[in-house]
Amino acid sequence: MSGRLPLAGGEASRTACARALLRSGVDEESGEVLSQAVLAQRVGWCADLLAGMVSGLLAERWNCADVEVLASGHDAGGRKLPSNAWMALRRLGWTVTAPVGVRVNDRVVRMAQEQAGRVLRSAWWRAGLTGGVLATWPADPRQRTAQEWEQVRKAVPGGEHLPSSIIKSRTRQAAKFLAANGRLPADVFEMEGAPKVARMLLLAACDRQQATIERSDTDPAKVLLRLQLPTRPDPRAYADWTWVACPIMLPPTVPASAVLHLPTLRVAGRQVRADVAYTHAVPKARRTGHTVAVGVDWGLNTLLCAGALRLQEDGRITELGAGGQFRAAGIL
């Protein structure tokens, strides 16, 4: 479980994430060994329940007024909202319920609220971007003039540093709505429906009553994840939820001294993937004296491209290696 990471002088904490695979599990109540496919089925049942609950909450709150309230960071009484999305939604009174006849515990409700809250919080930036584009709609959406570019960048939050491709893509999206409806959309929430909900379990929103994670005493690469999963797609009682123990092998990139946090589980076909967050100690960054730097650029075709450079003693800058590109499946 998460805990405090001891730091020595000159060290700082950093949180990263590693992907692992849940290959099997053991139902602690029956002692049954669950194959990878059966484990994926049970995780999928839980993910489907959550997806339905999240979809209902998003459909209810997918509007400018509610998203603005959440993005403001304060409740009706002026108190600061908690950083955890599920706690912020509860402070605002935005509840979510399971389908009729289905029984889930409060930690499952937390996961649904956390997922919905993250989606709603992320929508605020898109709302500001879309609002700026609509407020400064150009005479010709296909080709803005220099003055129109200046206007839209002033209207969009942080627009002076925003790549033109992002503004152009939002303009094309609004132009498509205009062609189909004969008018511009009122905001991003009319232009875009409530987003599709990913099938996932955000265990970080839970406590030990729903999930735990512990390292092995003999091998720090071995981890045991325990969580409650339904035994049927529509659990009717708490007895339809049982504890399942799932061994996980961490990749070698996770330090043995790192503090582990509850992962996010995703169902991919007949597999369950775990995104395991961990916090580890790193040297504090210095302001001066660096001789190695990393240059990063991004675009539409390649999300991120990076290369390492070294400053030589004679003042020359040389490259290190061939660089790399980010892909969703890994670093190339």
Q: What is the pLDDT of residue 17?
A: 93
Residue with more model confidence, 275 or 330: 275
Q: Are 14 and 228 in contact (CB under 8 A)?
A: no
Share of the chain above pLDDT 70, in %: 97
Q: What is the pLDDT of residue 331?
A: 46
Q: Are 271 and 248 in contact (CB under 8 A)?
A: no
pLDDT tens column, 266-291: 999 899 999 999 999 988 888 888 88
Q: How does DSSP assign 212-253, residue by residue?
A: EEEE-SS-TTEEEEEEEEESSSS--SGGGEEEEEEEEEPPTT
Cα-based distances in Å from 27 to 1, 230, 310 = 21, 11, 53
pLDDT for residue 1 is more than 50: no
Cα-based distances in Å from 66 to 48, 70, 96, 120 = 25, 6, 15, 9
pLDDT for residue 217 is more than 50: yes
Q: Which two tokens stand for residue 260?
A: 């582990």
Q: CA 202, CA 20: separation in Å to the nearest integer?
A: 15
Span 247-273, mean pLDDT? Answer: 94
Span 51-70, mean pLDDT? Answer: 96
pLDDT tens column, 11-52: 899 999 999 999 999 999 999 999 999 999 999 999 999 999
Q: State the pairing for strand pair 211-215/222-230.
A: antiparallel
Span 169-196, mean pLDDT? Answer: 95
Give the mean pLDDT of the chain.
92
Span 202-222, mean pLDDT? Answer: 95
pLDDT band at 107 (very low <50, low <70, confident <90, very high): very high
Identify the CA nearest to 296 among candidates 286, 308, 284.
308
pLDDT for residue 93 is more than 70: yes
Q: What is the pLDDT of residue 300?
A: 67
Q: CA 317, CA 305: separation in Å to the nearest integer?
A: 19
Q: Which two tokens stand for residue 239?
A: 């007895």
Q: How does DSSP assign 248-268, residue by residue?
A: EEPPTTS-TTPEE-PPEEEEE
Total-model pTM: 0.85
Identify the CA nearest to 244 among candidates 263, 264, 227, 224.
227
pLDDT for residue 332 is more than 70: no
| 275 Cβ neighbours under 8 A, 6+ residues apart | 17, 18, 19, 263, 264, 266
| 98 Cβ neighbours under 8 A, 6+ residues apart | 49, 53, 104, 108, 109
- Residues 131-168 as b or e (16 or more Cβ within 10 Å = b): bbbbebbbeebeebeeebeebbbebbeebeeeeeeebe
Residue type, 202: L
Q: Are 88 and 117 in contact (CB under 8 A)?
A: yes
pLDDT band at 9 (very low <50, low <70, confident <90, very high): confident
Burial class of residue 274, CB neighbours in 10 A (0-12, 13-18, 19+): buried
pLDDT for residue 254 is more than 90: yes
Q: How does DSSP assign 274-298, residue by residue?
A: EEEEEEEEEEPPPSS---EEEEEE-
